[in-house]
Amino acid sequence: MKGVVVKGVQELVQAKFGTDAWERIKRLTDLKEPFFAVGEDYPDQLTMALVQGASQISGQSTDDLLLEIGRFCVSKTGRKAYPSFYSLVGDSPRDFFFHIERAQNFEAQNNPRAKRWFRCEDTPEGGGFVIHDLSRTGLCAGFRGMISGVGLLFNVELAVKDRACVLRGDPECILEVRLP
């Protein structure tokens, strides 16, 4: 998982539940990391352990927290961590996702350890696009939250429809995003 997401978990917990809650989660998960670098990759298991710890501390379901974390990561943590990038992402949610896809493809060409997290394509009938979540992490609610967070950036509510999901046994998650 990209560090911006793990950092987003930390920032959301601290903003919503307080620093003491974050310290309790760190103890629950035996977290040794002194900080999270937004550009680094961290094990998916670490992210899930932190989310489960936050769920235990807050009483919220992991899916509800993942939705919030996804929105927070895009609209707050990512925006703060990558201000130059955010200024170049275009004028619509579609532009945002296709721009990130191009950036991750460029990174993958130049860094053999880089992962491609998703792939986008326009819907044949227009009016939306499809995102293939290539991470296969099972953190589907977080990905839907990120899509919602992109909508927040552009002040639009995006309709998201699940076409396929790894949690249902599909090989990847495929989400259809409808633009208003």
pLDDT single digits (tens) 120-162: 999 988 889 999 987 777 778 888 999 999 999 999 999 999 9
Provide, rounded to the nearest whole percent, the portion of the chain with pLDDT above 70: 99
pLDDT above 90: residue 71: yes
Per the prediction, the chain carries an average pLDDT of 90
| Tally of CB atoms within 10 A around 128 | 18
At the top level of CATH, which class does the domain 3-81 belong to? alpha beta
165 phi and psi, to 5 degrees?
-150, 135
| Tally of CB atoms within 10 A around 118 | 19
39 phi and psi, to 5 degrees?
-90, -5
Look at residue 95 in the predicted model and tell me its pLDDT: 93
The superfamily CATH assigns to domain 88-178 is H-NOX domain (3.90.1520.10)
- Yes or no: say if 147 and 161 are a contact pair by the CB < 8 Å rule: no
